[in-house]
Amino acid sequence: MSQTTLAPPHRPTRIAPRPRPRRRRPSPLHLLLVPLTVVMLGPLIWMVLLSISTEAETRRFPPGLPGGVHWHNYVDAWNQGPFGTWLLNSTIVSVTCVVGNVVFCALAGYAFARIPFFGSRLLFVAVLATLMVPFQIVMLPTLIVVRDLHLTDTLGALIAPNLATPFGIFLMRQFFTTVPRELEEAARIDGAGRLRTLLRIMLPLMGPTLATLSVLTFLNVWNDFLWPLIAIQSPGNMTIQMGLQNFQGSHLTNWPVLMAATVISQVPVLALFVVAQRFFVRSIASSGFK
């Protein structure tokens, strides 16, 4: 009797939260994932914490949480270094290089994949060969080339060597070899030229590959340090990475302002990363390139 009266109210309560029981007990894997997150994000979190501390707070040992949020560190950093100029320079250089790579590498990749012309194999092998040459090996002669082109200490010196990359050509050529030939042959029989075929038929298909190329080019140029270091002298032409390093030299002991400057230098790329994380990861995974 008591059992039958109890049974009906039981049932709905058991049905209603049905999706729950699986989730009620968190997976034990969190015990591994949380410490991992702490280690990987820890340095970045401390960067932010230090950037809102007072100078006295950064000198205590052991370090602790800041007592309040001191935004003035950001104001100080912004006023003490031309961060606006540096961010603008980095943006100009990175965006120009992205556009250059997209246009030049798409054209070259298409020609290498699809247009039979004299010397194409030899040229492509030569391009591939430079893919294996690390930048540090060629940077000294490149510096001389840049000087001979009268680009020393200009943004042009940062743009020109990265405007077309062997990696980009390789990536685009790989893509074009996967597109069925029939697609463009139909267009060509209809009388479309090569450029028209590329723009009308291929361009709509190129989205993901071009995006991969853009993301990786942007990341590489934006974070590049060694080349700006040797090619640029005047603070007005520095990129944000080089500027930050320059700023570090003069603010070695002022940790809050230095960290605020570091945050400023990282915000654009980190924001882009948070918004398009999946995309970054897919780009790196598909090309095996950082």
Partner 1 sequence: MAVATAGRAVRRGSLRRGDQLTGWAFVSPAVLLIAVFGLIPVVWSLVLSFQQTDLTSGGTWSGAANYTKMVHDPVFWQAARQTLLYCVLFVPVTMALAVPIAVLLNQKVRGMTFYRMAVFAPLVTSTVATGVIFSWLYNPQIGLINAGLDKLGLPQQGFFQSTGQALPAVVGMTVWGWLGFAVIIYLSALQNVPRELMEAAALDGCGRFRAFWKVELPLLAPASSFLLVWLTINALQLFDEVYVTTKGGPLHASTVLVYYLYQQAFVNFDGGYAAAIGCALFVVILFVTVIQLWMGRRTSHYEAG
177-236 residues in contact with partner 1 (CB under 8 A) are 185, 188-189, 193-195, 219, 222-223, 225-226, 229-230
Task: Report 260-289 residues binding partner 1 (CB under 8 A).
Answer: 262, 265-266, 269-270, 272-274, 277, 280-281, 284-286, 288
Task: Tell me the backbone φ, ψ of residue 55, rounded to 5 degrees.
Answer: -65, -40
Stretch that binds partner 1, among 65-73, 81-89, 117-125, 199-207 (CB under 8 A): 117-125
Shortest distance, CB of residue 4 to partner 1, whole angstroms?
Answer: 39
Query: Which of residues 111, 202, 213, 232 is near partner 1 by CB under 8 A?
Result: 111
* Residue among 2 and 230 whose Cβ is closer to partner 1: 230
In angstroms, the first-to-last Cα distance of the chain is: 71
73 in contact with partner 1 (CB under 8 A):
no
258 in contact with partner 1 (CB under 8 A):
yes
241 in contact with partner 1 (CB under 8 A):
yes
Task: Tell me the backbone φ, ψ of residue 103, rounded to 5 degrees.
Answer: -70, -55
Lay out the site mask for partner 1 across 29-68 (x = CB under 8 A, - = otherwise).
xx-xx--xx-xxxxxx-xx--x-------xxxxxx-----
Shortest distance, CB of residue 245 to partner 1, whole angstroms?
Answer: 5
Query: Which of residues 92, 95, 143, 201 is near partner 1 by CB under 8 A?
Result: 143
Shortest distance, CB of residue 289 to partner 1, whole angstroms?
Answer: 9
> How far, in Å, CA of 108 to CA of 100, rounded?
12
Shortest distance, CB of residue 112 to partner 1, whole angstroms?
Answer: 7
Query: Helices marked H in the chain — which ranges?
Result: 2-15, 20-24, 30-51, 55-58, 72-80, 83-114, 120-131, 135-148, 155-159, 166-178, 181-189, 194-197, 203-223, 226-231, 240-250, 255-275, 277-287
> How far, in Å, CA of 100 to CA of 94, rounded?
10
